[in-house]
Amino acid sequence: MDNSAQIDYWNGPAGQKWVRDADRMDVMLSPFAEAVISRIAPKPGQSVIDIGCGAGALSLNLAASSVNVAVTGVDISEPLLAVARARAAAVGAKATFVNGDAAVWKPEVLADFAISRFGVMFFADPVAAFANIRKSLHKDGRIAFACWRSLQENAWALTPLQAALPLLSEAPMPPPPGTPGPFAFADKEYIERILMESGWLDIRIAPWDGSLTLPGASVAESAQFMLEMGPLARAISDSALDLASIKAAVEVRLKELAGPDGRVHLAAAAWIVEAVA
């Protein structure tokens, strides 16, 4: 199983952007920390693995809200792990962050829970990866994770992309089904199949519908953020495009959608997935 393309991606310029935007990203994604953590109730002495922990927000939220629970974040991105470790040190959190490919990484001692906020959609071989995660837990251990539904259902990501479309040299093609990426788990049946084939039991997949507030104190800042993160950022990453015009087009569209508070709140759709090892 070769996750080297993702390892390069998350240690390269994309990882650096996530480092720069980590604080703003965590505010935007905070509803999902609550959605995932509320699905598990670790007792003192139990342990939790955070898969694809990135800059560590989910791990640190959990560490802050539970007593004497060992939290280990696993990620392939050294720059993001450095942020997670610095954040943990700053608040004296009992969380450990390790560099490992969750598809093959094994904890020293089996854990009680695995959790993830948008960190499990990037495996080249998801069945093998989820089998490995299952084997990292005690029998009857549980997993709870959030993953995006389709791009079409996620206006926060789709709207900036649509605003920029006329200025792109070509419209980005949706990746073939099963391609690792943020929307790889959009299809509920696909998630069910992966979890069943990797041996998980009692699979529950519930829709999460809400809205996200785009980061940025002004619409201009929100537009800039969306040029740096999400599908629009991926669409413009490797072509010589007129970024100033793209930003202006995104800004115009976001201005139309801004609420009375001057902020942009757009629909978001995810799955909250639970299963037993």
Ligand X SMILES: C[S@@+](CC[C@H](N)C(=O)[O-])C[C@H]1O[C@@H](n2cnc3c(N)ncnc32)[C@H](O)[C@@H]1O
Binding site for ligand X (CB under 6 A): 3, 6, 10, 29, 52-55, 57-58, 74-77, 80, 101-103, 117-119, 122-123
* Alpha helix positions (H), the chain: 4-11, 13-20, 22-28, 30-37, 57-65, 78-91, 126-135, 155-164, 188-197, 219-228, 230-236, 243-257
Q: Which is nearer to ligand X, 172 or 182 (CB)?
A: 182
- Report the C-alpha gap between 133 and 111 in whole angstroms: 10
Q: And the tokens for 110? A: 């089996």
Q: And the tokens for 64? A: 């802050």
Provide, rounded to whole angstroms, the least separation between the CB of residue 219 and ligand X: 24
Provide, rounded to whole angstroms, the least separation between the CB of residue 185 and ligand X: 12
Rg (CA), the chain: 19
Q: Give the CA dihedral 239, 245, 247, 251, nearest 10 degrees.
A: -150
- Report the C-alpha gap between 79 and 134 in whole angstroms: 27
Q: Which is nearer to ligand X, 80 or 277 (CB)?
A: 80
- Report the C-alpha gap between 122 and 180 in whole angstroms: 4
Provide, rounded to whole angstroms, the least separation between the CB of residue 256 and ligand X: 28
Q: Which is nearer to ligand X, 125 or 218 (CB)?
A: 125
Provide, rounded to whole angstroms, the least separation between the CB of residue 70 and ligand X: 18
Q: Is 130 exposed, middle or buried (0-12, 13-18, 19+ CB in 10 A)?
A: buried
Q: Which is nearer to ligand X, 18 or 249 (CB)?
A: 18
Q: Which is nearer to ligand X, 212 or 249 (CB)?
A: 212
Provide, rounded to whole angstroms, the least separation between the CB of residue 125 and ligand X: 10
Q: Which is nearer to ligand X, 57 or 249 (CB)?
A: 57
Provide, rounded to whole angstroms, the least separation between the CB of residue 40 and ligand X: 15
